[in-house]
Amino acid sequence: MVTFQDLLRKVKAQIREVTPAEVEPRLGDEDLLWLDVREHEEYEQGAIPGAHLIPRGLLETSISMQVPDPDKEIVVYCAGGARSALAALSLQELGYENVVSMSGGFGQWKAEGRPWSEPVTLSSDQKVRYSRHTMLPEVGEEGQAKLLNSRVLLVGAGGLGSPAALYLAAAGVGVLGVVDFDVVDASNLQRQILHNMDRLGHSKAESARETLTALNPDVKVEPYGERLSAANVLEVMSGYDLVVDGGDNFPTRYLVNDASLHLRIPVVHGAIFRFEGQASVFHPYQGPCYRCLFPQPPPPELAPSCAEAGVLGVLPGIIGSIEAMEAIKLLLGIGDPLVGKLLTYDALTEDFRILNLRRNPDCLACADESRPPAIVEYDQYCMPAGSVARTV
């Protein structure tokens, strides 16, 4: 029979330990994972900023899912340095090559006045609802809390807006604004899955609110049952973290683009026609804008609407879902959003492609950052009226 102290000595002889002072300079270094192996209750009372929680009891069963790279640099810590030593040895035995245990644990870290924070925590219901998100290291409870505190505006509650809104609501985006002046028509239901037969004739924005809050009561829906216009676009869009454009006409798309340049809000773009779809992210002044790509719209005969030309109902499901994915990536700050890239999809050939987009140095909308375009009502030609000095 050996004592715990004997066991710990033996374990520590087989691992590497570092002091808080030695590792603090690595705070914020994305190549390094801070792994907190304490229990939830301990973690919630304070943790090293950016630390990822895997309680000691779940470590061996879940580490390979959450940290698939065996070469990842990992600093393991607990409250005092014992559990982290045991955890570090387990990780070594599982094949993780670059693991160290922080001696003295969070207790010493905190006592020495090093930075820590109280992680934003989820309620017990939220932990269950979002568990498949939070087990992703790229999301975690911190990322989920970020989504819950995010505000996204959906322009259009139609074919693209429906799947985008449903997935954003399911993902727990805290506030979803929905702009749509239209009412639900039977011909919408082949693709606009936010709505149903009971809502025929009802406001689409209001129908969206009913569907989304029934799906997830964490989400507050702000319906705007009005047409987006030069008079209201800045007021409606301001205060949102990003816009998901699911509009169905060129004038609205140019208007949203202009307002996004004024407010510096990224626009997740999606557009569809019959069997073809496109998606991109227009991030003001960081990449091209909508007018860089399409300086002016085509003549109406070359760009009939879905109502005129038809659209296969699944197509907006695919492109709207891609828009939701891009929105979540932007909100979480993960991956490579489609900034400066246009994804094109041809449903008939099942062909996805990515085209490179450039910022147009002569763009009438975004070339001069200090003078965004004047907010005007567009006709079918969608030509800008000029620019105005930045006031915001």
Partner 1 sequence: MMHTIRLPTILRVHAGGDSSVTACGSTVGEAFSDMGRRYPALASQLLDPDGSVPVFVNVFLNDEDIRYLKGLDTPITQPSEITVLPSVAGG
Q: Of 212, 221, 229, 227, nearest to 181 (Cα)?
A: 227
Strands 276-282 and 341-346 turn out to be: antiparallel
Q: Which of 1, 13, 214, 348 binds partner 1 (CB under 8 A)?
A: 348
**Chain residues 208-267 in contact with partner 1, contact rule CB under 8 A:** 245-250, 253
Cβ distance to partner 1 smaller for residue 82 or 279:
279
Per-residue binding letters, 327-346, with partner 1 (x by CB under 8 A): ---------------x-x-x
Cβ distance to partner 1 smaller for residue 34 or 345:
345
For residue 270, state whether it binds partner 1 (rule: CB under 8 A): yes
Helix H or strand E encompassing 133: helix 131-134
Helix H or strand E encompassing 341: strand 341-346
For residue 33, state whether it binds partner 1 (rule: CB under 8 A): no
Q: From the CB of 336, what's the least distance to partner 1, in Å?
A: 15
Compute CA distances 304 → 83, 121, 212, 249, 299, whole Å: 65, 48, 30, 9, 9
For residue 119, state whether it binds partner 1 (rule: CB under 8 A): no
Q: Which of 237, 293, 328, 338 binds partner 1 (CB under 8 A)?
A: 293
Per-residue binding letters, 121-160, with partner 1 (x by CB under 8 A): -----------------------------------x-xxx
Q: Of 368, 373, 390, 389, nearest to 230 (Cα)?
A: 373
Residues in the chain, overall count: 392
Helices (H) and strands (E) in the chain, counts: 16, 13
Could you tell me which stretch among 55-63, 85-93, 165-173, 303-311 binds partner 1 (CB under 8 A)? 303-311
**Chain residues 159-218 in contact with partner 1, contact rule CB under 8 A:** 159-161
> What is the rounded CA–CA span in Å between residue 254 and residue 297?
9
Q: Of 249, 271, 267, nearest to 258 (Cα)?
A: 267
List of residues contacting partner 1 (CB under 8 A): 156, 158-161, 245-250, 253, 270-276, 278, 293-299, 302-306, 309, 311, 316, 342, 344, 346, 348-349, 353-358, 360
